[in-house]
Structure 1
Amino acid sequence: MDLACPPTRLARRRLLLASAGAATLSLPAFAQPGTGRQPITVVVPFTPGAPPDIVARVVSEGLQKRLGQPVVVDNRPGASGNIGAGLVARAAPDGHTLMVHTTTLVMNAGLYASLPYDPLASFAPVAMLTEVDYALVLHPSGGADLAEFVARAKARPEALNYASPGIGTPHHLLMELFQRQAGLRLLHVPYRGTAGAVTGVTAGEVQAMFMPVSGAAELTRGSVLRAVAVTAPARLALLPDSPTLAEGGVEGVTVRDWFGLLAPARVAPTVLAGLNEAANAVLASPEAAQALASQGYNVAGGTAEAFGRRMAADMERWGSLVREAGITAEGPAPAR
C-alpha cells in the first residue's frame, strides 16, 4: 500500500471513530455516552417541601436538562440531616450520588458526640447553590420594634421566650448568637418542627423567632407579627422596612445560611470539575435564578474550593458557639 495515498473511505471512518472515542474518554464519567442513562441521585436529608428540597428540585431540573440524563431527588430525612448525609458519605464516588445540604451539616459536628460522617473529610464540595437571610419576627407581646424587645429582655432576663424548630437548628443557634451579641437572656422553647414554632409565635405562646426572610415576609403580611430586623448586611427587597441588626445596634450577627451541592469524598477531579461547571451554568440560567429568587434565595455559585473554605469557616464559627453555650442536640426536646 502506498502510504502517500489518501486514506480510503473505510480508513477515514475508522479514524473518525477513534478520534470520537478519545474525546469521550476525556469527559467526566457521568457525561460519557453509554453511561448517560444512569440516573444521578440527589439526596436531600430533609422532608419534601422543606427549603433544601425546594433548592434541590430547581437545581436538579436544570442539571437534567444540561447533562441529558435523569436526575432524581431522593428525600432521606431524619436526625437533623444526619441519616441522608451518612448515606451519601458511604456512596460510590462516581458522580452519580450527590447531596444538597445546608449549614446544618457543619453545625452538627459540635452538636452530636458521634456522627456517621465527617462534615469536611467525608464529602467533596461541588458548589454553593444559594444563601438565605433570616429575619427576627416578634409577637406584639415582645415589643413593637427591636429596641423595645431588647430593652424588655434586658430588664427581665428570661422573662421573654423564643421559638425554634428544635434544639441545634440554625434558628436556635442564630438566637444564641443574637443573645450574646445583644447582651440579654431569653428562654428557649424548642418545638418539634417549623410549623409548631410558627404557630407558637403567631399565637403569642412565645414572643420571638428567627426565620428565613421569605417565610417572614409571608407570615407578617396582614398579620399582627412584625419582622423587626434582618441578619443581612443590608436591607432586603422582600422586607424593605426591616432594618439590619447592625442598624439596630446589634453587631456581629450578619448570618447567611447556605445550601450546597456535595459529592462523596474521593470523587475524581474531572467529575468534580464537570459537576461544578454544570451547577454554575444552571444557577446562571434565567429559569433557575427566577425560581430561586421568588422563594427568597440568593443565588451563589462559585468554585468548589471557595465552598469548601466557607464550610470550614462556618464549622469553626458555630462549633465555638455550641461549645461555649454547652448546647447538645442529643437530649430529648421538651414536649409541647
Structure 2
Amino acid sequence: MTIPLLPRSPALRRRQIVLGGLAAVAAPWVRAQGDAPIRLVVPFTPGTGIDMIARQIGPGLTSRLNRPVFVDNKPGASGNIGTQEVARATPDGSTLLVSVNTLVMNAALYPGLPFNPMTDLAPVSLTSWGQLILVASLKSKIDSLQGLIARAKKEPGALNYGSPGAGTPHHLAMELLKNRAHVSLTHISYRGTAPAVTDMLGGQIDVMFLPIHVALQQVKAGKLKALAISSDKANPLLPDVPPLSTLNVGNLNVDMWYGVLAPAGTPKPVIDRLNKALDEILKDPAIKTAFEVQGMTPAHDTPDEFGRLMAADAKRWAELIKAQGITAQ
C-alpha cells in the first residue's frame, strides 16, 4: 500500500530553505577539511613581526582545523602586492592575509590602489598589539622626550628622523607627533629598517620610531637612548620609558594592530570558525610568551569589532596624511 505524503507546512518549507542555504554556503569549507592547505599570506619579508605572528598561529590553525597551514611571504610595494593577491583570491577560507595597520594607511597613501582594504577584505580577528619606541642616537645628545621637543622648536627642521619607508607606521607615528606638538623634523626614508638602524647607531639620524623588539637590544646595550613608548602606559620590557601621552598634546597612541583577514565574500561560517580557532590559539600561554618577547600583546576580538577598529584607524590616518601632505614617494 502506498502511503500518501503529507503536504509540507509553510514553516517547515522555510526551515528547509534556510538549512539548505546554510549547507550550500558551508559546503566548500566542509569539502576542504583535511584537504586543501590554508595559505597565510604575509605581505612583507621573513623575519618581520607580521611574519612571526603568522608562523606562531600556523601550527595552532593546523591542529584545530585539521588542515595543513603554510606561510607565504609576498613582499613588495609596502605590502600592497601580497594584499592584492588575497583580495583577489577565492573566498573559501583557503587564503588568508596576516597584516598590520599599514593596510589601512596605504588606502590614503596610494589612492590608485586596485583594491579597497575596507571592502575587498573581510576581517577575521585581531591577533595582537605592538608598541613603537621613540629612540635617539647618542650623537644627537637628546636625552628626553621633552628635550627633543624643545630642540625641534628651537631649531625647526634641523633635527632629522628616519623610517623604513614612506607611509610606514614608523613614519606616520613621527608625523603625528610633529602635528600634535607643532614641531618640524626632516624625514629621511630608507629601504627597510636595518639600514636606518645602522645609520642611527652611526649618528647620521637623530631620532626614530622602532618596534620594541628591534630597539630593545640597542637600548639595553646603551647604544640608543629610549625617549618614549607609543602606548598610553609603560611597557614591562622598558618600565622606565614614559608614554608619549606625558606631553599632553592630544592623542598620541600610535600602537600598531595586527590581524588576520580573508577575501571579501568568504562565508560567515568560515569566518566564525577561523575566529574561534584564533581565540583559542591566542589564549595559549606559550603563544602569549612568544608574542611578549617581541614586544607584542596578544589580542582577540570579533570580526565586527575588528572591522570597526579598521574603519576608525583608516579615518584617523587619512586625516593625518592629508593634514601633513604626506605622499608615498
Same fold (TM over 0.5): yes
Report which stretch shifted further, 130-139 or 211-220.
211-220
* Counterparts of residues 146-295 of structure 1 (less than 5 Å): 146-295=145-294
Amino acid in structure 1 at the alignment position of 2:220: R
CA distance in 2, matches of 1:156, 1:284: 48
Does residue 38 of the first structure (1) align with residue 49 of the second (2)? Answer: no
Match of 1:114 in 2: 112
Match of 1:94 in 2: 92
Report which stretch shifted further, 276-285 or 137-146.
137-146
Q: Would the aligned equivalents of 1:142 and 1:149 in 2 still touch at CA under 8 Å?
A: no
SS in 1 for 2:259: strand
* CA positional deviation for 1:192: 1.1
* CA positional deviation for 1:28: 4.8
Q: Would the aligned equivalents of 2:25 and 2:267 in 1 still touch at CA under 8 Å?
A: no
> Residues 165 and 32 of structure 1: is their aligned pair in 2 closer, same or farther, counting only changes over 3 Å?
same
* CA positional deviation for 1:248: 3.9
SS in 1 for 2:122: strand
> Residues 29 and 247 of structure 1: is their aligned pair in 2 closer, same or farther, counting only changes over 3 Å?
farther
Does residue 145 of the first structure (1) align with residue 122 of the second (2)? Answer: no
Identity %: 45
> Residues 297 and 34 of structure 1: is their aligned pair in 2 closer, same or farther, counting only changes over 3 Å?
closer
CA distance in 1, matches of 2:24, 2:107: 37
CA distance in 1, matches of 2:238, 2:45: 27
CA distance in 1, matches of 2:23, 2:117: 32
Query: Which consecutive unaligned segments of at least 5 residues does structure 2 have?
Result: 2-19
Does residue 83 of the first structure (1) align with residue 84 of the second (2)? Answer: no
Query: Which consecutive unaligned segments of at least 5 residues does structure 1 have?
Result: 2-21, 332-336
SS in 1 for 2:59: helix
* CA positional deviation for 1:212: 1.2
* CA positional deviation for 1:250: 4.2
* CA positional deviation for 1:27: 9.9
CA distance in 2, matches of 1:240, 1:163: 25
* CA positional deviation for 1:30: 6.9
* CA positional deviation for 1:251: 3.3
**TM-score using structure 2 length:** 0.90
* Counterparts of residues 117-132 of structure 1 (less than 5 Å): 117-132=115-130
SS in 2 for 1:189: strand
* CA positional deviation for 1:37: 2.1
Report which stretch shifted further, 260-269 or 210-219.
210-219
Could you give the per-residue CA deviations for residues 49-93 of structure 1, whole angstroms, max 9, x where no partner exists?
A: 111101111011211121121001111000001000110111000
> Residues 256 and 34 of structure 1: is their aligned pair in 2 closer, same or farther, counting only changes over 3 Å?
closer
Q: Would the aligned equivalents of 1:38 and 1:70 in 2 still touch at CA under 8 Å?
A: yes
CA distance in 1, matches of 2:61, 2:279: 10
* CA positional deviation for 1:35: 3.3
Cα RMSD between the aligned structures? 1.9
Q: Would the aligned equivalents of 2:33 and 2:65 in 1 still touch at CA under 8 Å?
A: no
Could you give the per-residue CA deviations for residues 91-110 of structure 1, whole angstroms, max 9, x where no partner exists?
A: 00001110101101100011
